[in-house]
Amino acid sequence: MNATEGTAADAERKARDEVRGKLLGAWRLVSYTARSADGDVIEPLGPNPNGLILYTPQGFMSAQLGRSDRPLLSSARLEDAMPEELARTTVGYLAYGGPFEVVDATTVEHHVTTSLFPNWTGHPQTRKVRFDGPLLTLAVPTPTRLWGAERTAELVWERPEVPSDPLWQQSCSPRSGGSAWCSADWASCCSRGRPLPGTSCTCAVEPAMHRPLPGLGAQDT
């Protein structure tokens, strides 16, 4: 590899790392649209879909998305529901997960190892990546068959609101010695006090526990 090739490879790796860093964390689904070649646009999960997609520093992803208007089942227990109810519920929901890989600055591959739709298991789901300010758009790279036509699907995501006083922001006690310290994502950022590859976390002594919830003593946490 000559100097020019080395510089290009370094630039590509830097671009992939930048995209990976931007993806990490949680995203909330804003919209899911699919457009056909003649301009017809549908919303497969309705106008107000629910969804979360997570990317972890360890290289895994998980996505769950569905219609917000799914009716409740007649039974309080899933195994007691009627088959037609289960079928209707499944049509309006999608869940899958597995390792992910940033292929280039505009492409991420989800290597599916578990899925509500079993046909996806063992097959990568490729998505084009685009960041528009606070929004993340994931799109299928080529048209796919959706609701009777070849369509290009796009899912738009945003960062979810963080609770004003989440548990992970509360005080922590260090495992052994040192001053009290806490991190939002210690377990997902740090391993034995060192940042995991692909992260830029500040690591210290791992917290032993969060401060007890109201009404609980330390022995109960």
Mean pLDDT, the chain cut into blocks of 10 residues (221 residues total): 74 94 97 94 95 97 96 89 89 96 97 96 97 96 88 96 54 36 43 52 44 38 34
Give the three-state DSSP class for 131: strand
Do residues 173 and 105 share a domain? Answer: no
Q: How far is CA 169 from CA 56, 109, 172, 185, in A?
A: 19, 32, 9, 10
Q: What is the pLDDT of residue 32?
A: 97
Q: What is the pLDDT of residue 8?
A: 86
Do residues 127 and 180 share a domain? Answer: no
Q: What is the pLDDT of residue 88?
A: 87
Do residues 139 and 40 share a domain? Answer: yes
Q: How far is CA 33 from CA 55, 153, 200, in A?
A: 22, 6, 34
For residue 74, the enclosing domain spans: 3-158
Give the three-state DSSP class for 27: strand
Do residues 141 and 62 share a domain? Answer: yes
pTM over 0.75: no
Do residues 126 and 17 share a domain? Answer: yes
Listed in sequence order, the residues at least 6 apart from 156 whose beta carbon sits closer than 8 Å to its beta carbon are: 29, 30, 31, 32, 135, 136, 137
**48-56: long-range contacts, CB 8 A cutoff, minimum separation 24:** 51/155, 51/157, 52/26, 52/27, 52/28, 52/160, 53/26, 53/27, 53/29, 53/138, 53/157, 54/25, 54/26, 54/27, 55/20, 55/23, 55/24, 55/25, 55/100, 56/24, 56/188
Q: Closest by alpha carbon to 95, among 122, 71, 118?
A: 118
Give the three-state DSSP class for 83: helix
Do residues 172 and 96 share a domain? Answer: no
Do residues 115 and 172 share a domain? Answer: no
Straight-line distance from the first to the last Cα atom of the chain, in angstroms, rounded to the nearest whole number = 56
